[in-house]
Amino acid sequence: MKRSIGCVGLAAIAACSGNNSARPDVGSGDVPSAEVSTDLGAVDAGIDVGVDAPATDTGPRDVGAVDAGPRDAGATDVPIVADGGSLVTYTERRDPCTDRNPLRNAYFGDLHVHTSYSFDSYVFGNRNDPAAAYRFARGEEVPLAPLDSAGNPTRRARLSAPLDFAAVTDHSEFLGERSICTTPGAAGYDSATCRLYRSGTMAGFVEFGAFLTRTDPSRLPFCGVGGRVCTDAATAVWRTIRDAAEGAYDRTSSCRFTSFVAYEWTATTGGSTMHRNVIFRNANVFDLPVSYIEESTAPGLWSALQARCITGLPGCDVLAIPHNLNISNGNTLALEYPAGSTEAQQRELARTRAQMEPLWEIMQHKGASECSSRFSGPDELCGFELMNPTQPLCNGTGTGGGSSCQSRSSYARYALADGLREDARLGVNPYRVGFIGSTDTHNGTPGNTAEATFPGHVGDEDGTPATRLSDNNVVFNPGGLAGVWSVENSRDAIFDAMRRHETFATSGTRIRVRMFGGWDLPTTVCGAPDLAAQGYALGVPMGGQLAARPPSHTSPRFVVLAAADRTPLQQVQIVKGWIDAAGAAHERVVTVAGSATNGASVNTTTCATTAGAGAMSLCGVWTDDQYDPSIRAYYYARVVENPTCRWSTVLCNALPAGSRPANCTSGVVPPTVQERAWSAPIWALPPR
Amino acid sequence: MGEPEPPATPTVIEEGAARGRRPSAFARAGREPLVYFALAGALLFGVDRVRHPPREVRGDIVLTRDFVDGVRRDLASRGGRAPTRAELRAALERFAEEEVLYREAAALGLDRGDPIVRRRMIQKMEVMLGGDAPEPSDAELMRWRDAHPDRYATPASVDFIQVFVDGARHPDTAADCASARARLDAAEAPTSVGDPFVDGATFTAQSRSQVELRFGGAFAEALFNAPAGRWVGPLTSRYGCHHVRVEAVTASRPAPIDALRERLRADLLEDQRSAARRRAIQRLRTRHTIRIDEASP
- pLDDT reading at A71 higher than 70: no
Residues A414 and A528 grouped into a single domain: no
Question: In CATH, what number is assigned to the domain containing residue B177?
Answer: 3.10.50
Residue B6 lies in a domain: no
Residue B77 lies in a domain: yes
- Touching check for A521 and chain B: CB below 8 Å? no
Nearest to A246 by CA among A113, A95, A410, A134: A134
Residue B176 lies in a domain: yes
Q: Which has the minimum average pLDDT: A380-384, A658-662, B99-103? A: B99-103
Residue B220 lies in a domain: yes
Chain A hits for B45, Cβ within 8 Å: 184-185
Residues A318 and A380 grouped into a single domain: yes
- pLDDT reading at A21 higher than 60: no
Chain A hits for B77, Cβ within 8 Å: 187, 224, 228-229
Residue B54 — pLDDT band, cuts 50, 70, 90? very low
Chain A hits for B10, Cβ within 8 Å: 185-186
Contact B119 A103 (CB under 8 A): no
Domain endpoint, select from A499, A530, A553: A499
- pLDDT reading at B28 higher than 50: no
Q: Give the per-residue pLDDT at A484.
A: 98
Spatial separation of the C-alpha atoms in residues A568 and A381, rounded to whole Å: 17
- Across the interface, of A127, A151, A561, the residue whose CB is closest to B119 is A151
- Touching check for A81 and chain B: CB below 8 Å? no
Q: Which residues are within 8 A (CB) of B67 and not within 5 positions of it... i.e. 6 or more apart?
A: B12, B13, B14, B15
Residue A425 lies in a domain: yes
Q: A687 or A3: which carries more pLDDT confidence?
A: A687
Residues B119 and B180 grouped into a single domain: no
Tens digit of pLDDT for each residue in A277-301? Answer: 999 999 999 999 999 999 999 999 9
Residues A428 and A517 grouped into a single domain: no
Contact A224 B120 (CB under 8 A): no
Q: Give the per-residue pLDDT at B297.
A: 59
Residues B48 and B112 grouped into a single domain: yes
Q: Which residues are within 8 A (CB) of A680 and not within 5 positions of it... i.e. 6 or more apart?
A: A433, A434, A435, A501, A502, A503, A504, A542, A543, A636
Residues B175 and B118 grouped into a single domain: no
- pLDDT reading at A457 higher than 50: yes
- pLDDT reading at A226 higher than 70: yes
Residue B296 — pLDDT band, cuts 50, 70, 90? low
Residue A77 lies in a domain: no
Chain A hits for B79, Cβ within 8 Å: 224-225
Residue A419 — pLDDT band, cuts 50, 70, 90? very high
Q: Which has the minimum average pLDDT: A572-586, A589-603, B211-225, B264-278? A: B264-278
Contact B266 A101 (CB under 8 A): no
- pLDDT reading at A8 higher than 60: no
- pLDDT reading at A413 higher than 60: yes
Q: Count the domains in chain B.
A: 2
- pLDDT reading at A553 higher than 50: yes
Q: How far is A197 from chain B (nearest CA, A)?
A: 16
Q: What is the mean pLDDT of chain A?
A: 87
Q: A333 or B258: which carries more pLDDT confidence?
A: A333
Mean pLDDT of A437-450: 98
Residues B59 and B102 grouped into a single domain: yes
Instruction: For A254, name the nearest residue in chain B, comparing CA atoms only.
Output: B154
Residues A658 and A621 grouped into a single domain: yes
ipTM of the complex: 0.85
Tens digit of pLDDT for each residue in A298-315? Answer: 999 999 999 999 999 999
Residue B210 lies in a domain: yes
Q: How far is B102 from chain A (nearest CA, A)?
A: 14
Q: A51 or A218: which carries more pLDDT confidence?
A: A218
Q: Give the per-residue pLDDT at B57.
A: 58
Q: Give the per-residue pLDDT at A53.
A: 34
Q: Count the domains in chain A.
A: 2
Select, from the ranges A324-338, B33-47, B211-225, the one with the highest average predicted confidence (pLDDT).
B211-225
- Touching check for A250 and chain B: CB below 8 Å? yes
Residue A86 lies in a domain: no
| Beta partners for residue A157, in sequence order | A142
- Touching check for A170 and chain B: CB below 8 Å? no
Q: Give the per-residue pLDDT at B260.
A: 79
Q: Give the per-residue pLDDT at B11.
A: 33
Instruction: Check whether the bond before A217 is cis (ω within 30° of 0).
Output: no
Residue A5 — pLDDT band, cuts 50, 70, 90? very low
Q: How far is A250 from chain B (nearest CA, A)?
A: 8
Mutate to test the interface with A, among B78, B208, B231, B253 (most CBs of A within 10 A): B78
Q: What is the mean pLDDT of chain B?
A: 79
Q: A397 or A673: which carries more pLDDT confidence?
A: A673
Q: Give the per-residue pLDDT at B9.
A: 33
- pLDDT reading at A256 higher than 70: yes
For CA atoms B89, B94, B97, B99, give the dihedral sign: negative
Tens digit of pLDDT for each residue in A617-633? Answer: 999 999 999 999 999 99
Residues B28 and B102 grouped into a single domain: yes
Residues B120 and B193 grouped into a single domain: no
Contact A529 B190 (CB under 8 A): yes
Q: How far is B240 from chain A (nearest CA, A)?
A: 8
Residue A13 — pLDDT band, cuts 50, 70, 90? very low
Residues A495 and A563 grouped into a single domain: no
User: What is the interface size between A and B, counted as CB pairs within 8 Å?
Assistant: 180
R_g of chain B computed on alpha carbons: 32
| Beta partners for residue A575, in sequence order | A589, A636
Residues B27 and B98 grouped into a single domain: yes
Residues A465 and A577 grouped into a single domain: no
- Touching check for A527 and chain B: CB below 8 Å? yes
Domain endpoint, select from A465, A499, A533: A499
Residue A449 — pLDDT band, cuts 50, 70, 90? very high
Residues A443 and A569 grouped into a single domain: no
- Touching check for A240 and chain B: CB below 8 Å? yes
- pLDDT reading at B7 higher than 90: no
Residues A365 and A492 grouped into a single domain: yes
Residues of chain A with pLDDT > 70, as a percent, come to 87
Residue A90 lies in a domain: no
Mutate to test the interface with A, among B14, B202, B270 (most CBs of A within 10 A): B202
Residues B27 and B127 grouped into a single domain: yes
Instruction: For B119, name the nearest residue in chain A, comparing CA atoms only.
Output: A150
Mean pLDDT of A75-98: 65
Residue B148 lies in a domain: no
Spatial separation of the C-alpha atoms in residues A517 and A519, rounded to whole Å: 7
Chain B hits for A103, Cβ within 8 Å: 200, 202
Nearest to A365 by CA among A467, A258, A420, A446: A446
Chain B hits for A566, Cβ within 8 Å: 238
Residues B128 and B65 grouped into a single domain: yes
Q: Which has the minimum average pLDDT: A146-155, A488-497, A501-510, B209-218? A: A146-155
Number of H helices, E strands in chain A: 14, 24
- Touching check for A566 and chain B: CB below 8 Å? yes
Q: A394 or A371: which carries more pLDDT confidence?
A: A371
Residue A560 — pLDDT band, cuts 50, 70, 90? very high
Residue B280 lies in a domain: no
Residue A70 lies in a domain: no
Residues B99 and B162 grouped into a single domain: no
Q: A213 or A518: which carries more pLDDT confidence?
A: A518
Contact B6 A180 (CB under 8 A): no
Mean pLDDT of A169-181: 96
Residue A36 — pLDDT band, cuts 50, 70, 90? very low
Residues A494 and A591 grouped into a single domain: no
Residues A679 and A569 grouped into a single domain: yes
Mean pLDDT of B96-104: 87
Residue A76 — pLDDT band, cuts 50, 70, 90? very low
Domain endpoint, select from A466, A499, A532: A499
Q: How far is A630 from chain B (nearest CA, A)?
A: 33
Residues B36 and B97 grouped into a single domain: yes
Residues A596 and A470 grouped into a single domain: no
| Beta partners for residue A322, in sequence order | A276
For chain A positions 109-168, those within 8 Å of chain B (CB to CB) are: 116, 127, 129, 131, 143, 149-153, 161
| A660: number of Cβ within 10 Å | 17
Residue B78 lies in a domain: yes
Residue A171 lies in a domain: yes
Chain B hits for A599, Cβ within 8 Å: none
Tens digit of pLDDT for each residue in B246-257? Answer: 999 999 988 888
Domain endpoint, select from B82, B116, B132: B132
Spatial separation of the C-alpha atoms in residues B150 and A407, rounded to whole Å: 53
Instruction: For A95, name the nearest residue in chain B, comparing CA atoms only.
Output: B259
Q: Which has the minimum average pLDDT: A56-60, A95-99, A100-104, A535-539? A: A56-60
| B265: number of Cβ within 10 Å | 18
- Across the interface, of B120, B204, B255, the residue whose CB is closest to A71 is B204
- Parent domain of A593: 511-684
Residue A473 — pLDDT band, cuts 50, 70, 90? very high
Instruction: For B231, name the nearest residue in chain A, comparing CA atoms only.
Output: A76
Residue A99 lies in a domain: no
Residues A488 and A632 grouped into a single domain: no
Q: How far is A566 from chain B (nearest CA, A)?
A: 8
- Touching check for A49 and chain B: CB below 8 Å? no
Tens digit of pLDDT for each residue in B110-157? Answer: 888 777 778 778 878 887 887 777 889 989 999 998 898 878 888 899
Instruction: For B34, name the nearest residue in chain A, comparing CA atoms only.
Output: A240
Residue A370 lies in a domain: yes
Q: Sort strands A359-364 and A434-437 into parallel, antiparallel or unpaired.
A: parallel
- Parent domain of B197: 156-251
Instruction: For A612, name the nearest residue in chain B, comparing CA atoms only.
Output: B168
Residues B168 and B82 grouped into a single domain: no
